[in-house]
């Protein structure tokens, strides 16, 4: 192990937080630990039927402490004292209401069980009405304040979620001094800041989800928010206009957290960013290559030299922001609201009869029931993939639309629903799974097509995340549908590794993020090439997918 060149990357995902302790000289992971959010796992504070998904800040705080301490215990006190920086990434947009001291309201006794006082998870779609109002309101202004977020504001994003919460909860409205993204709050917590004015906001969250832009000298003017709804009056001024890239420090570790973790107070804390953005760096993103972080949803990242993006705006994506992924480059984000979640939904639906039977069955013991559940969860997608891959391809096969959690891009519309088409009495589970896999890949192709249509070339694909690593079948269909190769990154922890690369830059081990990426990157494990026999057939099915999607959207 290297002497004195260690960093920690913390990756907050939808279901868990992972910390990795990394040797910054070569990117080797010395220790890793995962913490599954206990309250989230129980389904607390959520209502899927209403698209309400909330997470308690205690899940985040407990996970932060436990995973970092677990990593340090694995390597011993000597290495712990050599840690020089910590950087974090989170899901987003995942904002929370805070008091004047920057404390999330759910961490105060009055709001400990109030879902509106908790972090509003990225996939919460309760603010559909507010997003629609923002889009209509923006048309009244000469300046196009939505130009850098693809022209459409989403219910998944910062201001829509804030406005909806202020409207539905009077107590939160009165107690909230400001609002903070998850990725900005964790560095604030670790540095021990005592007032929300000390909070350092990252350009990633501000630019992609909150309408911050260099052209506007910050967020849109006060009049934009006041005239949208008086409930927003004054809030803009309590949300810092200054933003920083993730390559800079938010401060150093506070004495309180240094004692908790067993680290020094000279440990630097990096500016936070979203998981997919740091994941793209961990996955060694290249200019004009689309890095697809494939988990519960997808986040598709592309970087291009800022000078080459002058005058170019891509409609219908999740934003383009200078420095949001790599300083000095424009970061462009798109994605799908459901990817792994679509497969998880299908798995859960198929599992329903089994669960009902097991609940009432006396044929096997409780221990055997649990083992059966575990085996089912491990094997179902594998079995479905194998059976689906063996099916013959025909342009008239069952077809699906992947909008099971609405559509993120291109052209955000969270009110849209998924669908299956062409079912008959011969349709079985593998055929439906095959249609669902193709639909998620067709949705991905729509994103690539939009970039190309808007003058942004896509020279290659990079696959990151659990789905990319685990499912050869899905990745082969992706290559066939896209008609281009897709490289799969070696690491299955690209987001946490990317956070570690930013931490290494913050620590001063590397002058730029690109240097850190080159030195610490793990390379690629697999590459899938399109099967030319399938390309034309998938193109024909893609045209049917687009027609079917248009029918659903118009009706």
Indicate if the alpha-carbon torsion angle 19, 24, 26, 30 is positive or negative.
negative
Residue 1, pLDDT > 50, answer no
Name the pLDDT band for 18 (thresholds 50, 70, 90): very high
Residues 72-81, mean pLDDT to the nearest whole number = 94
pLDDT tens figures, 94-129: 999 999 999 999 999 999 999 999 999 999 999 999
Distances (CA, A) of 291 to 12, 41, 412: 19, 29, 20
pLDDT (average), residues 400-418: 94
pLDDT tens digit sequence for 532-543: 999 999 999 999
Does residue 343 surpass a pLDDT of 70?
yes
Q: For 496-511, what is the mean pLDDT?
A: 98
Read off the pLDDT of residues 251-301 as tens digits, 9 standing for 90 and up.
Answer: 999 999 999 999 999 999 999 999 999 999 999 999 999 999 998 889 999
The CATH class, in words, for 340-490+525-554 is: alpha beta
Q: Which of 55-69, 195-209, 459-473, 495-509 has the lowest mean pLDDT?
A: 459-473
Identify the CA nearest to 345 among candidates 283, 284, 417.
417
* Cβ proximity of 499 and 13 under 8 Å: no
Both structure tokens of 320? 């383009």
Per-residue pLDDT band at 241 (split at 50, 70, 90): confident
Enclosing H/E stretch for 19: strand 16-23
Return the CATH fold of 6-283+491-522: Nucleotidyltransferase; domain 5 (3.30.420)
CA–CA gap between residue 409 and residue 442 (Å, rounded): 12
Can you tell me the mean pLDDT for 233-258? 95
| Burial zone of 157 (CB within 10 Å; 0-12 exposed, 13-18 middle, 19+ buried) | buried
Burial code of 203-242, b = ≥16 C-beta within 10 A, e = fewer? bbbbbbbbbbbeebebbbeeebbeebeeebeebbeebbee
- Angle at Cα 120 formed by Cα 116 and Cα 123, nearest 5°? 135
- Please report, for the chain, how many H helices and E strands are present, in that order: 19, 22
CA nearest neighbour of 247 among 218, 225, 269, 231: 269
* Least confident stretch, 179-188, 309-318, 384-393: 309-318
Residue 503: strand pairing partners = none
pLDDT range class, residue 2, cuts 50, 70, 90 = low
Topology agreement, domain 6-283+491-522 and domain 340-490+525-554: yes
Closest CA to 129 of 152, 161, 158: 161
Q: How far apart are CA 501 and CA 258, in angstroms?
A: 21
8 Å CB contact between 294 and 340: yes
Buried b (16+ CB within 10 A) or exposed e, 262-293: ebeeebbbbbbbbbbbbbbbbbbbbebbbbbb
Domain ranges for the chain, please list them: 6-283+491-522, 340-490+525-554
């Amino acid at each position: 192990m290297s002497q004195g060149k260690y960093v920690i990357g913390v990756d907050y995902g939808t279901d868990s937080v992972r910390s990795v302790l990394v040797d910054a000289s070569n990117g080797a992971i010395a220790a890793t630990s995962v913490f599954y959010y206990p309250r989230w796992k129980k389904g607390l504070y959520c209502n899927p039927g209403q698209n309400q998904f909330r997470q308690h800040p205690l899940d985040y705080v407990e996970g932060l402490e436990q995973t970092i301490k677990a990593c340090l215990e694995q390597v011993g006190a000597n290495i712990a004292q050599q840690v020089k920086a910590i950087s974090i990434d989170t899901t987003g947009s995942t904002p929370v209401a805070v008091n004047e001291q920057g404390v999330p309201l759910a961490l105060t006794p009055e709001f400990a069980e109030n879902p509106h006082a908790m972090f509003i998870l990225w996939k919460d779609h309760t603010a559909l009405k507010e997003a629609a109002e923002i889009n209509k309101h923006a048309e009244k202004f000469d300046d196009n304040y939505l130009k850098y977020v693809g022209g459409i504001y989403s219910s998944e994003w910062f201001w829509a979620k804030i406005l909806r919460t202020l409207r539905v909860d009077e107590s939160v409205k009165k107690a909230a001094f400001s609002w903070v993204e998850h990725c900005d709050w964790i560095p604030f917590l670790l540095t021990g800041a005592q007032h929300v004015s000390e909070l350092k906001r990252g350009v990633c969250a501000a630019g992609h989800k909150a309408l911050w832009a260099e052209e506007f000298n910050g967020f849109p003017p006060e009049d934009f928010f006041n005239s949208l709804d008086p409930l927003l009056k004054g809030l803009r001024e309590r949300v810092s206009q200054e933003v920083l890239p993730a390559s800079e420090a938010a401060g150093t570790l506070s004495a309180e957290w240094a004692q908790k973790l067993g680290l020094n107070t000279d440990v630097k804390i990096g500016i936070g960013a979203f998981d997919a953005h740091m994941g793209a760096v961990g996955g060694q993103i290249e200019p004009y290559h689309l890095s697809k972080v494939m988990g519960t949803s997808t986040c598709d990242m592309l970087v291009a030299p800022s000078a080459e993006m002058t005058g170019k705006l891509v409609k219908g994506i999740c934003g383009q922001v200078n420095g949001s992924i790599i300083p000095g480059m424009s970061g462009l984000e798109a994605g799908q609201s459901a990817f792994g979640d679509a497969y998880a939904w299908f798995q859960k639906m198929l599992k329903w009869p089994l669960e009902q039977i097991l609940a009432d069955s006396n044929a096997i013991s409780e221990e055997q029931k649990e083992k059966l559940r575990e085996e089912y969860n491990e094997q179902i997608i594998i079995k479905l993939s194998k059976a689906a891959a063996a099916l013959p391809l025909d342009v008239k096969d069952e077809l699906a639309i992947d909008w099971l959690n609405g559509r993120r891009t291109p052209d955000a519309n969270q009110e849209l629903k998924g669908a299956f088409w062409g079912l008959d009495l011969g349709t079985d589970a593998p055929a439906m799974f095959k249609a669902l896999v193709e639909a998620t890949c067709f949705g991905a192709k729509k994103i690539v097509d939009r970039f190309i249509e808007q003058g942004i070339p896509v020279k290659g694909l990079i696959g990151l995340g659990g789905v990319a690593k685990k499912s050869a079948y899905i990745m082969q269909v992706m290559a066939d549908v896209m008609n281009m190769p897709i490289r799969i990154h070696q690491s299955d922890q690209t987001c946490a590794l990317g956070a570690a690369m930013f931490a290494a830059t913050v620590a001063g081990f590397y002058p730029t993020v690109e240097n850190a990426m080159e030195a610490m990157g793990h390379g690629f494990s697999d590459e899938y090439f399109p099967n030319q026999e399938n390309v034309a057939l998938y193109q024909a099915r893609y045209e049917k997918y687009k027609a079917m999607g248009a029918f659903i959207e118009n009706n």
